[in-house]
Amino acid sequence: MRLGVLFSGGKDSCFALYKAKEQHEIACLLTMRSRNKESYMFHTPNIDLTALQAEAMGIPLLTVETEGEKETELGDLKTLIMKAKNECNIHGIVTGAIESVYQAARIQEICNDLGLWCFNPLWKKDQLSLLNELRETGFKVIISGVFAYPLDKSFLGREIDDTCIAELAVLQKKFNISPSGEGGEIETLVLECPLFKRKLHITNSEKKWDGSSGIFNILEASLI
Q: Within this chain, do residues 141 and 111 fall inside the same structural domain, yes or no?
A: no
CA nearest to 186, candidates 142, 140, 128, 130: 142
Q: Within this chain, do residues 25 and 113 fall inside the same structural domain, yes or no?
A: yes
What pLDDT score does 39 carry? 62
Q: Over pLDDT 70: what percentage of the chain?
A: 95
Q: Within this chain, do residues 115 and 188 fall inside the same structural domain, yes or no?
A: no
Q: Within this chain, do residues 16 and 107 fall inside the same structural domain, yes or no?
A: yes
**pLDDT-derived band at 214, boundaries 50, 70, 90:** very high
Higher pLDDT, 38 or 215: 215
Sheet holding 117-119, edge to edge: 61-66, 25-34, 2-6, 92-94, 117-119
**pLDDT-derived band at 121, boundaries 50, 70, 90:** very high
Q: What is the pLDDT of residues 152-195, one digit of tens each?
A: 999 999 999 999 999 999 999 999 999 999 888 999 999 999 99
**CA atoms of 1 and 185, how far apart (whole Å):** 34
Contacts of 10 (CB under 8 A, 6+ apart): 43, 96, 141, 144, 187, 188, 189, 190
pLDDT at 218 over 70: yes
Q: Supply the range of the domain harboring residue 23.
A: 2-119
What pLDDT score does 182 carry? 85
Q: How many CB atoms within 10 Å of residue 156? A: 24
What pLDDT score does 168 carry? 96
Q: Within this chain, do residues 24 and 41 fall inside the same structural domain, yes or no?
A: yes
Q: Within this chain, do residues 135 and 206 fall inside the same structural domain, yes or no?
A: yes
Q: Over pLDDT 90: what percentage of the chain?
A: 83
**Which residue, 119, 135, 156, sits at the end of a domain?**
119
Q: Within this chain, do residues 58 and 113 fall inside the same structural domain, yes or no?
A: yes
How many structural domains does the chain have? 2
Task: Write the single-letter amino acid at 54.
Answer: A
Q: Within this chain, do residues 104 and 146 fall inside the same structural domain, yes or no?
A: no
**pLDDT-derived band at 85, boundaries 50, 70, 90:** very high
Q: Within this chain, do residues 7 and 29 fall inside the same structural domain, yes or no?
A: yes
Q: What is the pLDDT of residues 35-59, one digit of tens each?
A: 766 665 666 789 999 999 999 999 9
What pLDDT score does 174 carry? 95
For residue 85, what is the domain's CATH number?
3.40.50.620
Task: Write the single-letter amino acid at 115.
Answer: G
